[in-house]
A = this chain, B = another copy of it.
Amino acid sequence: MSSNFSITEENYIKAIYHLQQATGSVTTNELSASLLTKPASVTDMLKKLKVKKLLHYEPYKVFYLTAEGKKIALNIIRRHRLWEFFLVEKLAFGWDEVHEVAEELEHVGSKKLVDKLDSYLDFPKFDPHGDPIPDVNGKMSIVQQVNLTELPLNKLAQVTMVGSQSTELLELLSHKDITIGTKLEVKKKFSFDKSVEVKVKNLAPVNISEQLAKVLFVKPV
């Protein structure tokens, strides 16, 4: 009674889950952009997922996961984030190198494997990017995190999450020596370009562009 879903189906379910987090529903074009497939291919899969009762979908309407679909999505996300944690914690991967590998490992469905891995890792609550890991029942912690652009001046905070996994972003962060857990303070905000000056540890202040600040989430400490 393991997974029952193909890797492709799992990838659709996961993508729909993530996209519907924003507005509660998803459109065909959004999903096709997210998966790098054509809208026609998406339509085919939507019909399939509807038949399997994982998706609320009517032609030409927006769609969203059923309770069952959400449950499955959370399980896939659980697997993905547990593996990311494992790769960083045990195998000494950099936290910016784990995403692709976890994309593959997440499709190994054995419940026994996942639960034993969870236990071996001591039931971690957050993955290396600061995203919460669903527990065996699909529940996950919520962080009271704010976007770096909303952090008040001179308030010490810790980076908890990075809102994208692109290599370009991770390269930039690594250059600026910012990672999950980094403690920082916003020293100045520039209204001209909405960039912020941030002090990391005792180093010289660095400037963070609006684009970058928008994907950095922090938790006041």
A108: interface (CB < 8 Å): yes
Q: CB distance A93 to B116 under 8 Å?
A: yes
A109-144 contact mask (Cβ, 8 Å, vs B): 1 or 0: 110110011001000000000000000000000000
Give this chain's copy count.
Answer: 2
What is the 8 Å Cβ interface bit string for chain A, positions 83-106, against chain B (1 contact, 0 not)?
000010011110001001100110
In the complex, what's the smallest C-beta–C-beta distance from A143 to chain B, in angstroms?
28
In the bound complex, residues from chain B placing their C-beta under 8 Å from that of A108 are 101, 104-105, 108
- How far, in Å, is A131 (CB) from chain B's closest CB? 20
Chain B residues in 8 Å Cβ range of A100? 110
Interface residues of A (CB under 8 A from B): 87, 90-93, 97, 100-101, 104-105, 108-110, 112-113, 116-117, 120
14 A–B pairs (Cβ distance < 8 Å), ordered by A? A91-B113, A91-B116, A91-B117, A91-B120, A92-B116, A92-B120, A93-B112, A93-B116, A97-B112, A100-B110, A101-B108, A101-B110, A104-B108, A104-B110
- Give the complex CA separation of A113 and B94 in angstroms: 12
Which residues of B are found within 8 Å of A97, using beta-carbon distances? Answer: 112
Q: Which residue of B lies closest to A115 (CB)?
A: B91
Chain B CB count within 10 A is highest, among A91, A100, A113, for A113
A113 touches B90 (CB 8 A): no
Given the complex of chains A and B, what is the CA–CA distance between A113 and B92 in angstroms? 10
Report chain B residues within 8 Å CB of A93: 112, 116
Most buried by B among A92, A105, A108: A108
Compute how far the CA of A100 lies from the CA of B120 in the bound complex, rounded to whole angstroms: 20
A91 vs B105: C-alpha distance when bound (angstroms): 16
